[in-house]
């Protein structure tokens, strides 16, 4: 025990060892975990895609053009509807008074009933009926006391031909005033045609063409009226 103690006492003291600094862990190469032990990762805002300059300037003129086109179409549609109502559905109407003759233009609807109702109520002493079949017309005419009734065939067989025939018959019989019975959609065109040929006083009575015939009659009358106003301006 003495030797061990001597050896321990006689040995040189050793230098104290300095403590080493702790080594920090290196950061991982990849992105951090979205949900690690310390909690959920912060979300990154979405990238904002910038429109090219001038994009809004290009869209605004196109939008204005489309709005202008839509507005123009609406104006045309409304104008066409208003003109159709004024010319063919609710045309100028006359307050009928006594005349020298009643001239019935050929066509559909209750024209014959209206014509002979007027004659039987003393509106005129003469009735002239436009027809394409003279024999059938003369056989089918009713007899009205004190009223002369006859048929005539216009040439050509159109509203223009009927207007010319009205002027010819008025000249032959000395009619100063006539009542023309026609279809209501045809009133405007008949007035234009007759006033070009006949110089006397004119009154027109329109008759409904029937519920099922309105649409096709109006389409036809648009074309016929344009023809009368633009291409056939004489009697």
- Per domain, the residue ranges of the chain are 61-90, 101-231
pLDDT in tens, 26-35: 555 555 555 5
CB of 179 closer than 8 Å to CB of 101: yes
Place of tokens 């007759």: 194
Alpha-helix residue ranges (DSSP H) falling in the chain:
2-10, 55-84, 111-120, 134-140, 159-173, 187-197, 214-226
Model confidence at 9: pLDDT above 50: no
Can you tell me which residue has the tokens 């074309």?
Answer: 223
| Region 68-80 average pLDDT | 95
Q: Where does residue 178 rank: exposed (0-12), middle (13-18), buried (19+ CB within 10 A)?
A: buried
Q: How far is Cα of residue 89 from the mean position of the Cα atoms in its chain?
A: 16
- Tokens representing 40? 């959920």
Classify domain 101-231 at the CATH topology level: Rossmann fold (3.40.50)
Cβ burial of 194 (10 Å; 0-12, 13-18, 19+) is buried
The SS3 of residue 74 is helix
Residues contacting residue 222 through CB under 8 Å, at least 6 positions apart: 84, 88
Angstrom distance (rounded) from CA 208 to CA 57: 56
Tens-digit pLDDT profile for residues 188-205: 999 999 999 999 999 999
pTM over 0.75: no
Q: Is the pLDDT of residue 5 over 50?
A: no
């Amino acid at each position: 025990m003495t030797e061990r103690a001597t050896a321990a006492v006689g040995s040189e003291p050793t230098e104290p060892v300095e403590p080493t600094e702790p080594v920090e862990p290196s950061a991982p190469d990849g992105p951090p975990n979205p949900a690690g032990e310390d909690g959920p990762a912060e979300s990154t805002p979405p990238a904002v895609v910038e429109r090219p300059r001038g994009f809004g300037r290009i869209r605004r003129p196109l939008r204005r053009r489309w709005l202008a086109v839509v507005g123009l179409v609406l104006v045309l549609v409304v104008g066409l509807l208003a003109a159709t109502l004024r010319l063919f559905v609710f045309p100028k109407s006359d307050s009928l008074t006594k005349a020298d003759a009643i001239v019935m233009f050929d066509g559909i609807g209750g024209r014959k009933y209206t014509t002979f109702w007027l004659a039987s109520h003393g509106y005129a002493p003469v009735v002239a009926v436009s027809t394409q079949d003279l024999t059938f017309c003369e056989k089918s005419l009713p007899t009205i006391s004190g009223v002369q009734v006859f048929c005539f065939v216009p040439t050509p067989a159109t509203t223009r031909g009927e207007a010319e025939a009205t002027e010819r018959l008025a000249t032959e019989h000395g009619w100063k005033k006539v009542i023309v019975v026609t279809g209501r959609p045809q009133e405007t065109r008949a007035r234009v045609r007759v006033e070009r040929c006949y110089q006397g006083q004119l009154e027109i009575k329109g008759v409904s063409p029937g519920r099922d015939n309105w649409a096709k009659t109006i389409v036809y009358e648009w074309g016929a009226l344009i023809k009368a106003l633009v291409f056939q301006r004489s009697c």
